[in-house]
Amino acid sequence: MKADVEHVIESLLSKGVVVRKDRDLDYMLEVISYNKPLYQLEEVWKGYIILQDKASAMVVEALEPSEHDTILDMAAAPGVKDTLIMQLTNNSARIIAVDVSLERLKRAKKVMRMYGIDLSKIELVNMDSTRLQLSRAVDKVLIDAPCSSSGAIGKDPAIKIHLKDESWVGRFLSLQEAMIRRALYLGNKPYIVYAVCSILPFEGEEQISKLSSTVEVLKPRIPGSPGYSSYGPLARKFKRFYPHIHFTQGFFISKFRRV
Ligand SMILES: C[S@@+](CC[C@H](N)C(=O)[O-])C[C@H]1O[C@@H](n2cnc3c(N)ncnc32)[C@H](O)[C@@H]1O
């Protein structure tokens, strides 16, 4: 919202940050080399650039936000994806941003302000979104669900320790299912994008394929690989991103609506 891509490239290069334009997303730059922590860059704290994984941006692309949309985000903090939604819609979309963590929501508000987001268009709601009831219709729903983060092991290898604990992973499965079910029962059958930063099929393909006849699954119009082939023809309607293929975090992305 605050800066022009070409100017940012110039100013980063002048500081020794080697970047190149992403081939799919014209607003995204890939950092090729830099020997200091990126978050210390002036461009970050001035709100000119945001550090985001490409697969995470693809979740927003799958939602195809448009200027007149009202979007419900059921797991919104710290607001990185909502910031991108507002960027892509020229600060015009409306977002109901729900998160159970007040601390993280406060951070989301700070993040959005820092990046020049029109906060009058955002309703920040601190609650458990599995209990959410809405009195008005929304056009689209984003569920960037809490998950095992097994797709982010490259960034944080300590995640492997948690993955050995089945009950820890299991907690996320029921929460993800409850969020999906709540979104499905919203009145006007909005499009839902459900995504997890996970390589585990239980948190991805499994969560959607078990909804079978109650949903129409749509193939997101984004690059990426299909879902795991053991889920049959449905797998081709899912998207997966992998560190070793796409140089992103591991992500599962799906799009569907109630029939
Ligand atoms: C993967 S993070 C979301 C990241 C966010 N979409 C972004 O791009 O910045 C998952 C979020 O879900 C929230 N969360 C966990 N359980 C929740 C619940 N029952 N209701 C609402 N939010 C929940 C967590 O507090 C966390 O902020």
pLDDT band at 212 (very low <50, low <70, confident <90, very high): confident
For ligand 1, the distance from its centroid to the CA atom of residue 48, given in whole angstroms, is: 24
- pLDDT at 213 > cutoff 90: no
- pLDDT at 166 > cutoff 90: no
Taking the domains of the chain in order of start, what are their residue ranges? 5-45, 54-258
Pairing of strands 94-99, 70-73: parallel
For ligand 1, the distance from its centroid to the CA atom of residue 122, given in whole angstroms, is: 16
Lookup: tokens for 145: 């669900």
Give the torsion sign (CA, 100, 251, 228, 22). positive
- pLDDT at 71 > cutoff 90: yes
pLDDT band at 156 (very low <50, low <70, confident <90, very high): very high
- pLDDT at 25 > cutoff 90: yes
For residue 147, indicate whether it is catalytic. Answer: no
Name the residue with the closest Cα to ligand 1, atom 15: 146
% of the chain beyond a pLDDT of 90: 92
**In 3D, which of 191, 167, 197, 192 has the Cα closest to residue 180?**
192
Of 12, 124, 197, 222, which is the active-site residue? 197
219-238 pLDDT, tens digit each: 999 999 999 999 999 999 99
Beta bridge partners of residue 17, listed in sequence order? none
Start-to-end CA span in the chain (Å): 37
pTM greater than the 0.75 cutoff: yes
pLDDT band at 187 (very low <50, low <70, confident <90, very high): confident
**Which of 101, 122, 156, 253 most suits a substitution to test ligand 1, by most atoms within 8 Å of the C-beta?**
101
The answer to whether residues 94 and 70 touch, using CB atoms and an 8 Å cutoff, is: yes
What is the third-level CATH fold of 54-258? Rossmann fold (3.40.50)
Mean pLDDT of 133-162: 94
Mean pLDDT of 197-213: 95
Mean pLDDT of 44-71: 97
**Strand runs labelled E in 11-99:** 18-21, 29-33, 70-73, 94-99
Beta bridge partners of residue 254, listed in sequence order? 194
Residue given tokens 């309703």 in the structure block: 123
Over the chain, what is the mean pLDDT? 96
Check residues 70 and 166 and name the one with the higher pLDDT: 70
Name the residue with the closest Cα to ligand 1, atom 27: 77
Beta bridge partners of residue 217, listed in sequence order? 256
- pLDDT at 142 > cutoff 90: yes
Around ligand 1, the residues with Cβ closer than 6 Å are 75-81, 98-101, 104, 128-130, 144, 146, 175
**142 three-state secondary structure:** strand
